[in-house]
Amino acid sequence: MSAFDALLLARLQFAFTIAFHIVLPAFSIGLASYLMVLQLLWLCTGRQVYIDLFRYWLKPFATVFAMGVVSGLVMSYEFGLNWGRFSDKTGPVIGPLMGYEVLTAFFLESGFLGVMLFGMGRVGRGLHFAATCLVAVGTLTSAFWILAANSWMQTPQGTSLTPDGRFVPADWAAIIFNPSFFYRLPHMVLASYLSVACLVGAVGAWHLRRAPADGHARTMFSMAMWMTALVAPLQIAVGDLHGLNSLRYQPAKIAAAEGHYQTRAGAPLVLFGVPDDARERTDYAVEIPRLGSLVLTHAWNGTVPGLRQWPPADRPPALPVFVAFRIMVGLGLLMAALGLAGLVMRRGGRLYRSRALRNAAILMAPAGFVALLAGWVVTEVGRQPWTVYGLLRTADSVSPVGAPGVGASLAAFVLVYALVFGTGLSFVFRLLRRPVQPAAASPQE
């Protein structure tokens, strides 16, 4: 029983630390690319508004980046701290991918971040722009490697197993470009872009409320609305493909996300309900006949798996996956609607005047980040009870550290993260509440 407690606490600790962490690199990925675009537009057009916006967003970027660095450092040691047996067995496969992440991404980001943040007066415009680009490329490269590692754990291939259960790499191309990688990577990058687009749009809308003629807020808002209109539908399409990929390689995850216990052809789409693992049924279900099969298999009579297909010990818990999936999809549809509304309002010049659109954009500020976290719950809880899908169980991955120790460290993480990231978030809000200052009026950098 005590071993089980330690396992549960270790899982909670990992979930807690990574849930905090994942939002920060997503913010950095999206914002670094946005900063790069702003600086490029400034260099090309020479318009002051772009460099003002660049300076404005650089400060929250620096604050969030610092939080991402320190919470990421925690992650890189947590595999060994809480998941020692997992590390011993999978280190030869996942370790080199993370090693490449450090060598190709982390050094690049941290090496040029200083120049990007503080170097404007010290190096030329071209070099400074190059530093911004390298930081942006670094954030994307980092996503490439960490999603290769995560995808390999979800859809492992290219390795053999030693008799005592350790993974030996055989084909690195197969390991990196595993079956779910090409779906997971764009899905995550687009999620980062969409999250930042919603945030930038909300900040623009916030300032437009007070000063509808503010050129800086207008540019910010307009760019974000374009981005939302383009990326949200694309993200839905990529998400659909990702779902089909999961159906093929991790059907139990899809069964949990859909709330299906029974495998059947022509399955309904369960809009709402409460999956009950003990009684193997979804209570209070609101269903649309056959639509589940159509969405998942793109055929009216397609067969959709149910959780009863697997022995209970091999099933993920359905309720969190089911609920998180609905949050993610619901917010995805709302973001697409916001993007569409922006496009419609643009006709006739109502984009900056519509109060409804402004308020909707403000309400949607955290939508991308919440959807991203929900999606992470779907993919990580949905692949339980495995760390390496079908090959290594979560219960066989944990370190021999007792429950009191893991519990104490979990409590320490909760306290410290709440304090540190709560404060960081309040600083970011305070920065974003201020309107953008034109360069002449802004204090010396």
CB-nearer residue toward other proteins: 26 or 381:
26
Query: Which lies closer to other proteins via its Cβ, residue 181 or residue 249?
Result: 181
Residue 56 makes contact with other proteins by CB under 8 A: no
d(CA 173, CA 67): 33
Stretch that binds other proteins, among 243-251, 324-332, 379-387, 401-409 (CB under 8 A): 401-409
Q: Is 67 in the site for other proteins (CB under 8 A)?
A: yes
Check: CB of residue 184 under 8 Å from CB of residue 151. yes
* 77 binds other proteins per the rule CB under 8 A: yes
C-beta of 353 vs 430, nearer to other proteins: 430
Reduce the secondary structure of the chain to three states and give it as a string: CHHHHHHHHHHHHHHHHHHHHHHHHHHHHHHHHHHHHHHHHHHHHCCHHHHHHHHHHHHHHHHHHHHHHHHHHHHHHHHHHHCHHHHHHHHHHHHHHHHHHHHHHHHHHHHHHHHHHHCCCCCCHHHHHHHHHHHHHHHHHHHHHHHHHHHHHHCCCCEEECCCCCEEECCHHHHHCCCCHHHHHHHHHHHHHHHHHHHHHHHHHHHHHHCCCCHHHHHHHHHHHHHHHHHHHHHHHHHHHHHHHHHHHCHHHHHHHHCCCCCEECCCEEEEEEEECCCCEEEEEEEECCHHHHHHHCCCCCEECCHHHCCHHHCCCHHHHHHHHHHHHHHHHHHHHHHHHHHHHHHHHCCCCCHHHHHHHHHCCCHHHHHHHHHHHHHHHHCCCEEECCCEEHHHCCCCCCHHHHHHHHHHHHHHHHHHHHHHHHHHHHHHHCCCCCHHHCCCC
Kindly tell me which of 10 and 338 has the beta carbon lying closer to other proteins. 10
101 vs 380 by CB, closer to other proteins: 101
Let me know the angle formed at the C-alpha of 93 by 101 and 182, rounded to the nearest 5 degrees: 65
- 439 binds other proteins per the rule CB under 8 A: no
Residues 78 to 117 in contact with other proteins, rule: CB under 8 A: 79-81, 84-96, 98-104, 106-108, 110-115, 117
Q: Which is nearer to other proteins, 21 or 326 (CB)?
A: 21
By CB under 8 A, tell whether 233 contacts other proteins. no
Interface residue with other proteins, options 3, 123, 237, 241 (CB under 8 A): 123
The answer to whether residue 309 forms part of the interface with other proteins (CB under 8 A) is: no
Minimum Å distance from CB 439 to other proteins? 16
Member of 420, 425, 435, 438 binding other proteins (CB under 8 A): 420
Integer Cα distance of 408 and 403 in angstroms = 8
- Based on the shown chain and the rule CB under 8 A, indicate whether residue 432 belongs to the binding site for other proteins: no
In this chain, which stretch among 27-35, 316-324, 368-376, 420-428 interacts with other proteins, using CB under 8 A? 420-428
From 12, 74, 230, 340, residue interacting with other proteins (rule: CB under 8 A)? 74
| Residue 25 in contact with other proteins, rule: CB under 8 A | no
State yes or no: residue 122 binds other proteins (CB under 8 A): yes
73 is a contact residue toward other proteins (CB under 8 A) = yes
Write out the binding residues for other proteins, residues 163-202 only, by CB under 8 A.
168-170, 172
For residue 409, state whether it binds other proteins (rule: CB under 8 A): yes
Does residue number 71 form part of the binding site for other proteins (CB under 8 A)?
yes
119 forms part of the interface with other proteins (CB under 8 A): yes
Residues in the interface with other proteins (CB under 8 A) total 73
Interface with other proteins in residues 366-385 (CB under 8 A):
none
Tell which one of 430, 437, 439, 442 touches other proteins (CB under 8 A): 430
Q: Report the residue number, 117 or 319, with the smaller CB distance to other proteins.
A: 117
> Does residue 411 interact with other proteins by CB under 8 A?
no
